[in-house]
Structure formats: C-alpha cells, structure tokens
Structure 1
Amino acid sequence: MTAHRSLGRTAGVVATAAAAVLLAACGSDDGSSGHHAPGHDKSSTSSTPSVSASDSQGAHNAQDVAFAQGMIPHHRQAVVMADLAPSRAKSQAVTDLAATIKKAQDPEITTMSGWLKTWGRNVPTGDMPSMSGMAHSGGGMDGMMPEADMTKLEKLSGPAFDTAFLQMMIGHHQGAVDMAKTEQSKGAYGPAETLAKSIIMSQSAEIARMNKMLGK
C-alpha cells in the first residue's frame, strides 16, 4: 500500500514537470518569453519583401516629375503645329503625318497629367515647359519652337508650309528624343521609362520619315 502511494506521488511530480516544460516551449514559440525561436523571426518578416516590391512599383523621383512637366507642354506644342496642317499643307503626306502625331501625343499628355496629379505635382498649363521641369531635366525646352517661329508657321501655306512644318517638327522631335533618353537613364518610375522608350522609337522613326519627305 505504501509503495502504491509512493508511485502515485512520483507520477504526479513527473506530470507536473512535463507540463512546465510544455508551457515554456509554447511561451518561446509565441514570443511571450525573452527568447524567440529561430523560425519565428523568419516567419514574422517573410512578408516584408513583397510589401517593398509593391511600394517600388509606384516609386518616382525628381527626374520623373521633370520629364512629365517638360514633355506635356512639348507635346502640346507639337499638337498645335499638327492642327495647322489640315488648312495649310499642300502635301497629303504632311497632313497625314500631322494627324498621326496628334493621335499619338494627345493620349500621352493625358497619361502624364494623371501621373502628376497622383504625385501631387502641378500639371503645366499652355504649351511652354514649367520652370520646375526645366530645372530638373537640364533642358526641358529641348526642341521647343520660339513664339516667333510658331507665328511664322501660322502665316504660311502650300509648299512653304510643308517645308517649314517638316523642318520644325524634326527639331521638335529630336528634342523629345533627348528628353526621353534622359528619363531612361535617370528616371525611377517604370511607366514613365516605358513611355520614354516608346517616344524614342516612334519619334525617331518619324524623323527618318520627315527627312525622306524633305529629300534628305
């Protein structure tokens, strides 16, 4: 009888000790104790890379802002020039080119304006670059036509208009290509870099097309 009672007490002590060990292990697992299990820290930070990746998709820098603020008025001036062609050009090829330019650049103006609004930055008004765009891009006026040249173009018609339009638009496009190359090398916003690549490809092709029309 005494031996039976002794065995019972021993079993109770063992059970109590086991329970204490189990509780200690649980405390370590959920961080309630002063020591963390190696696997716990790893699992608690496993979501960080995906959050960072998501954030980086929307990242932009000063160059991206300058690109949009400089290219919007640049595009607007090209559209103004293109709008002159239907009533002044003699060559149907010039009229068709002007329509192509307007069709491509109008939506790009809308896209870039949307970026600036999202970033809380000013959308330029008119067809001249903003001072902030010029300051950051190191040449926001690349290829922009002076007001005197725009006035002169408005007064031309026939073959004289065609020649002046092509010559001016070539310079205008070359400026846009330079601005787009700067964005590709210094920008951070993926969609802006993609647009810059598209501008380089499309406007370089149009430069070659206009040079051919001029007999170069």
Structure 2
Amino acid sequence: MKTRAAATAAITLTAVLALAGCAGSDSGPAHANAADIMFASMMIPHHVQAVEMSDALLSKEGVDERIVALAEQVVSAQQPEIDLMENWLADWGAEASDLPTGTDMGHSGGMMSDGDMRALDTAVGDEAGRLYVAQMIDHHRGAIDMARGEIQKGQNPDAVALAQQIIATQTVEIDTLEDVLATS
C-alpha cells in the first residue's frame, strides 16, 4: 500500500514538474482548441471540489490513517494542477467562466452535489472515511472521463499530457481506494 502511494506521488510530482516546465517555455503558449479550454475549465472546479472534500476529511478525527494519507495525496497532487490549468487559461485568453452554455456540470463528471458535500461535512470517524472513499471513487471516475475527452479532442500537447497523467494517477488511486473500502 505504501509503495503504491509513494509511486503515485512520485509519478504525479514528475508530471507536474514536467508540465510546469513546458508551461514556462519562452516559445509562448501553445495553441489551444475548444476542447482544451473546455477540459481546463471543467477540470479546475472538479479538482477544487476534490481538494475541498479532502480538506473536509482531513479536519476530522478518528479516520483510518490510510484514508488520511490518500486525502493528503489528493491535495498535494491536485492543487498544483489547478494552478497550472489556471495559468493555461490565462495564456489562452480564456477563463473557467468561458464554458459554452449548457455545460453545467451538476452531478455529472463525478461532481458531488451540495447534499453529498453536507453528508461528508457532518460524517464522523470511520463513517466519514468510508463516505469520502466512496465519493472520491466516483469523483475520480468523472475526472478520468473528462481526461479521455481531452485526449480524443484536445490539441494542446501540455493539456493532453496532463489528461494522460490524470488517467494514470487517478486509476491507481481508485484501485487503492477500492482496496481500502474492501478492508475497512
């Protein structure tokens, strides 16, 4: 378990550093199409919610330390990706609010509803841990679906690379979360 978490953290750090290096090149921002803008615009609030879910869990006592470690991993991986995507949108002259009409994510894309978030906020101890794990599995599956869309339709190489990294990292995290759920 610790080896898998360490490997995931190492892969994530390597990818973020590599992508940050690409974003800081002197050649100017690479061209982005509508799919790239949509990907970043939708993934930012998705990642923000994952960080919020993790922060909510991390504020609780009596949670399985494996779940706490996973929540810490989510925060450390996704906050730098949020910053990176926000920089891309600025470079591309777009904002997260530039989503085409009719793209309200609602409960799609693995996003938790307000009720889901309230349930996590009010849960305690082991119940909070199990709820977080179940919610994060759905949340990660939604992120993987969005990332697949970017790989299929995006043209910005950095955005496509991040989408590939999200799939790799979050697939491993889902496996770990499912293992934790099965043994808790």
Considering the TM-score relative to the shorter chain, is it more than 0.5? Answer: yes
Distance in 1, matches of 2:107 and 2:152, equals 15
Judge conservation of contact 2:64–2:126 (CA < 8 Å) in 1.
Answer: yes
Judge conservation of contact 2:109–2:142 (CA < 8 Å) in 1.
Answer: yes
Query: Given residue 75 of structure 1, which amino acid in structure 2 is its aligned partner?
Result: H
Matched pairs, number: 157
Q: CA deviation at 1:119?
A: 1.1
Distance in 2, matches of 1:120 and 1:134, equals 21
- Match status 1:184 vs 2:157: no
Given the alignment, which residue of 63, 67, 71 partners 2:39?
67
Judge conservation of contact 2:57–2:120 (CA < 8 Å) in 1.
Answer: no
* TM score, norm. by length of structure 2: 0.78
Judge conservation of contact 2:41–2:96 (CA < 8 Å) in 1.
Answer: yes
Q: Look up the match of 2:64.
A: 91
**Higher RCO structure, 1 or 2 (CA under 8 Å, sep 6+):** 2
| Residue-by-residue CA offset, 1:155-176 (whole Å, 9 max, x unaligned) | 0111100110000000000000
Q: Look up the match of 2:139.
A: 172
Q: CA deviation at 1:85?
A: 1.9
Which residues of structure 2 form unaligned runs of 5+? 1-26
Query: Given residue 91 of structure 1, which amino acid in structure 2 is its aligned partner?
Result: D
Structure showing greater radius of gyration is 1
RMSD, matched Cα: 2.6
Distance in 2, matches of 1:201 and 1:160, equals 28
Distance in 1, matches of 2:70 and 2:90, equals 31
Query: Given residue 155 of structure 1, which amino acid in structure 2 is its aligned partner?
Result: T
Query: Given residue 113 of structure 1, which amino acid in structure 2 is its aligned partner?
Result: E
- Match status 1:155 vs 2:127: no
Q: Look up the match of 1:212.
A: 179
Within 5 A, what are the aligned runs for 1:33-112?
A: 58-88=30-60, 90-112=63-85
Judge conservation of contact 1:74–1:141 (CA < 8 Å) in 2.
Answer: no
Distance in 2, matches of 1:192 and 1:103, equals 19
Q: Look up the match of 1:39.
A: none
Within 5 A, what are the aligned runs for 1:123-138?
A: 123-124=96-97, 131-132=99-100, 135=103
Q: CA deviation at 1:138?
A: 9.1
| Residue-by-residue CA offset, 1:162-203 (whole Å, 9 max, x unaligned) | 110000000000000000011001000000000000000000
Identity %: 37
Q: Look up the match of 2:17.
A: none
